[in-house]
Structures are given as C-alpha cells and as structure tokens.
Chain A
Amino acid sequence: MTVTIHFWAHLKDITKAESISRNLEVNSSISDLLTLVYEQYPKLTEWDKSILIANGTEYAQRGDLLQDGDIISLMPPVQGG
C-alpha cells in the first residue's frame, strides 16, 4: 500500500520537501512509517518526542494501522494565536 506523508512548519525545513510517498506492507502502523521516515531524515528524530501526527484532518496515534491512500501529516507542536 502507498501512504503520503506531509511535513509541516519546521519539519519541512529539515526534509526540504512538503510531501513524500512511501510503500508499506499491509497492516503497517504509523510507528512503522515513522521508522522509514526517520531512516530517510535522521534529523527528524530530534523532534520525535514532541511530534504531532494526523491522519487526514484528525490526530492519530503511533499504534494506528494505516490504509492504502492515507495522508499522514507530521507536525511540530502547534503555536496559534
């Protein structure tokens, strides 16, 4: 299955890309996806403890299973106002 990953704010500065796509095995979780992403962008691990994750427009947990076509956003802590 294929999943798209969007990077936001300071995370985009690290990846130099707004989005990438990755192929994963069926029943992969967001944690599995993060492992792949961190392999490609090791500097992102510095944000690992504070990183926010969304699937579509809803917050997601690392243990959530992915489905083909999911759009995952990786975000630093939000700062509106």
Chain B
Amino acid sequence: MSHLTLPQNCTLIISREPITSAQPFYDSSSGAIIEFQGVVRSKEGEKQIKGIDYECFEEMARVQFSRLFFDALKRWPINTIHLQHRIGLVKTGEPSLYLRISAGHRAEAFAACQWIIDEMKKTVPIWKRPLD
C-alpha cells in the first residue's frame, strides 16, 4: 500500500465543507497565479438537477493527487499547487473543485492547471451522482 506524501509546496483538501474563496497568496517569484473553479451546473445532459453527490475513495485519492502533483512539478517550473475537492452533496451553482497554481510565467501555470484537471478525471477515484 502506498503512502505518498504531498510535495512540500503543494496542499490538498478533500472535504465536505463548502469551498470558500482562498486568501490572496503572492510571492515575488510567481509572476502568474491561475485559479480555476469547477461549478455544479443545473443540467446534467438534458436533465435538470438540484446538485451532485460526490463519493470519494479518499485514501487512494490522496495518493493519486500526490502523484499528479509530483508529475506536474517535474513537467513545468511551477511554484505551488493548491487543490480543494468537495465531496458529499454539492448544490447547483456551488463549486466542487478549486485549483490554484503559481508559477514564474503564465504559460506553465495555464498548462499545469489544464493537465492536472484532465488527469484527475482519469485517475483520482471520485464519482458523481446527480440528484434530481
């Protein structure tokens, strides 16, 4: 069984608590900070929904997120990664995912942000259950 720890400059929160806006975080080596929020839409396909219930295999999710963060840090010269994923019921219009990446320049920050979300959707064990 793996017990990967997070890279030193990365933080991860998996919680049932609502995602609150992160405090501004600036440092003189980061010329770019990308913030992404994934929000629950009111429609899943053509169907109107009230929210999404997120189920998570949390122990494995932490290992897989950690691996993604290590890989991202190898691929791009980024300074920090902060990711928060909400689990349990998330109502429409509320964010389920918050990702903030800081880097020296915007290109690597945008690229890493896109890549982490794409890979998360392939490997991190979280599932959605839309609620009517």
A57 to B64, CA, bound (A): 8
Q: Which of A20-28, A29-37, A43-51, A72-80 contacts B (4 or more CB under 8 A)?
A: A72-80
Which residues of B pack against A, CB within 8 Å?
Answer: 1-3, 38, 54-55, 57, 59-64, 85, 96-97, 117, 120-129
User: Is there an interface contact between B1 and A57, defined as CB atoms closer than 8 Å?
Assistant: yes
User: Is there an interface contact between B127 and A79, defined as CB atoms closer than 8 Å?
Assistant: yes
Partner of B121, one of A52, A76, A78: A78
Q: Name the CB-closest residue of A to B63.
A: A57
* A: number of interface residues (CB 8 Å): 18
Which residues of A pack against B, CB within 8 Å?
Answer: 6, 8-10, 52, 54, 56-59, 71, 73, 75-76, 78-81
Q: Name the CB-closest residue of A to B127.
A: A9
Instruction: Kindly provide the distance from the CB of B52 to the nearest chain A CB, expressed in whole angstroms.
Output: 9
User: Is there an interface contact between A81 and B121, defined as CB atoms closer than 8 Å?
Assistant: yes
Residues in B neighbouring A76, C-beta threshold 8 A: 127
